[in-house]
């Protein structure tokens, strides 16, 4: 049975996931949340991969193995002394045709924070670090003719990308946000979770709630896309270390989220998560309702700020499969830069980042990070 996740007042904000308790502004429930103004997203500590941090022990039944200690150029996360503020950044490098560029070295790059040059403390090409991945699938009525394609190709992608070191989870969203599968390495369980995603609309009547899911209440929301991204970032990925990414299968249209697109972007940035959006849209659906969808611009904002990108696949099986292949290649062809900021203030402020390549290749990286707060 799927778990329906929704907002509660902050004093009751507890999310229970597979017998795991996380502090969060979401909770299990059977009815849509009360129509109250949303609490502001919590000001959490920075998620820019703390120094000298070893992989956390997950509180779910599937545990990531602890990596053996390796030389600095192979495992830079564990080479810094406690108390040193380290910013870590994963990114891709591409030529003008979009082809990935391998075999670059530290001296090929410069990095600046808020326009000020920074000293690169380490640099490496990362293809084997553990990956934590979230698959978010839109189950609203507009996806009714593409969701089966998304399940099939998404499952094949998981088989392709995940190794025995990696973990993933699956969330679906429509008038509620549903955790279909908690963290696991088991691709078969992930595929089964994808198969559970079901459009909550009766195809003949077009009435939400007649597809077997929750029945909407008066003024209930329609597609909680921004809320789903926030939940995935803040409640699932923020506590993880290493490489993290989300893949959204959606038309980009949000209807009724309690949070804004900027809240979703900020949560993704604070969790150090790269966001990819595969725009899957049934053009026939939008034609039948006499309008179009307008979510692409917001999805570009989300992906550009987090180091991912939007890939428009429409309702074409081959385009979706090619898009997943591209994402797999990018996640396995990343560079990793680390530096100690010259601005040592831990004031929670947003810092803009810019990586430049001396050969003028295109850099695909997140736009910045949050400096966090002092623990004093």
Question: Which tens digit of pLDDT belongs to each residue from 3-46?
Answer: 555 543 333 333 333 333 333 334 333 333 434 444 444 443 44
Considering only residues 61 and 224, tell me which one the structure prediction assigns the higher pLDDT.
Answer: 224
- Kindly tell me if the per-residue pLDDT of 298 is higher than 90: yes
Q: Which of 21-25, 261-265, 312-316, 339-343 has the lowest mean pLDDT?
A: 21-25
Considering only residues 186 and 40, tell me which one the structure prediction assigns the higher pLDDT.
Answer: 186
For residues 84 and 210, give the distance between their C-alpha atoms in angstroms, rounded to a whole number.
55
Q: What is the pLDDT of residues 195-251, one digit of tens each?
A: 999 997 654 444 444 444 444 444 456 899 999 999 999 999 999 988 999 999 999
Q: Where residue 313 falls among pLDDT bands split at 50, 70, 90?
A: very high
Half-sphere exposure of residue 159, counting CA atoms within 13 Å on the CB side?
11
pLDDT at residue 4 in the model: 58
Q: What is the pLDDT of residues 65-80, one digit of tens each?
A: 444 444 444 444 434 4
Average pLDDT over all residues of the chain: 78
- The residue among 239, 238, 240 whose CA lies nearest residue 229 is 238
Kindly state the percentage of the chain with pLDDT values over 70. 68
For residues 142 and 201, give the distance between their C-alpha atoms in angstroms, rounded to a whole number.
9
pLDDT at residue 209 in the model: 43
How far is CA 192 from each of CA 71, 249, 264, rounded to the nearest angstrom?
A: 39, 17, 27
For residues 76 and 368, give the distance between their C-alpha atoms in angstroms, rounded to a whole number.
20
pLDDT at residue 24 in the model: 38
pLDDT at residue 201 in the model: 60
- The residue among 224, 174, 219, 180 whose CA lies nearest residue 201 is 174
For residues 87 and 49, give the distance between their C-alpha atoms in angstroms, rounded to a whole number.
7
End-to-end C-alpha distance for the chain, whole angstroms: 44
pLDDT at residue 207 in the model: 44
Q: Which of 51-55, 79-83, 226-230 has the lowest mean pLDDT?
A: 51-55
């Amino acid at each position: 049975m799927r778990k329906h996740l929704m907002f509660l007042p902050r004093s009751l904000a507890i999310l229970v996931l597979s017998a795991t308790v996380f502090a969060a502004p979401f909770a299990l429930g059977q009815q849509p949340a009360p129509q109250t103004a949303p609490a502001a997203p919590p000001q959490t500590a920075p998620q820019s991969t703390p120094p000298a941090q070893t992989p956390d022990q997950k509180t779910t039944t599937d545990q990531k193995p602890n990596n053996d200690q390796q030389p600095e150029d192979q495992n830079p996360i564990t080479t810094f002394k406690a108390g040193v503020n380290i910013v870590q950044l994963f990114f891709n490098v591409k030529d003008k045709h979009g082809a990935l560029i391998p075999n670059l070295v530290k001296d090929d790059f410069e990095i600046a924070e808020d326009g000020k040059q920074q000293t690169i403390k380490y640099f490496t090409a990362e293809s084997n670090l553990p990956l934590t991945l979230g698959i978010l699938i839109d189950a609203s009525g507009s996806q009714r003719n593409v969701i089966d394609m998304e399940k099939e190709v998404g499952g094949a992608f998981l088989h392709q990308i995940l190794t025995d070191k990696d973990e993933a989870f699956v969330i679906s969203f429509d008038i509620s946000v549903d955790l279909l599968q908690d963290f696991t390495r088991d691709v078969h369980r992930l595929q089964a979770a994808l198969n559970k995603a079901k459009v909550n609309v009766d195809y003949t009547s077009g009435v939400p709630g007649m597809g077997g899911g929750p029945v909407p209440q008066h003024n209930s929301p329609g597609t909680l896309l921004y809320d789903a991204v926030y939940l995935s970032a803040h409640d699932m990925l923020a506590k993880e270390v290493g490489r993290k990414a989300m893949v959204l299968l959606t038309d980009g249209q949000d209807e009724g989220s309690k949070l804004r697109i900027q809240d979703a972007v900020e949560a993704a940035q604070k969790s150090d998560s790269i966001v990819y959006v595969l725009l899957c849209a049934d053009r026939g659906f939008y034609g039948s309702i006499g309008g179009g969808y307008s979510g692409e611009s917001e999805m570009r904002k989300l992906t550009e700020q987090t180091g991912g990108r939007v890939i428009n696949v429409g309702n074409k099986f081959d385009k979706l499969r090619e898009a997943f292949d591209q994402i797999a290649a990018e996640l396995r062809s990343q560079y990793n830069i680390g530096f100690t900021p010259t601005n040592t203030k831990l004031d929670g402020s947003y810092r803009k980042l810019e990586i430049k390549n001396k050969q003028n290749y295109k850099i695909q990286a997140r736009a910045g990070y949050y400096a966090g707060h002092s623990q004093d």
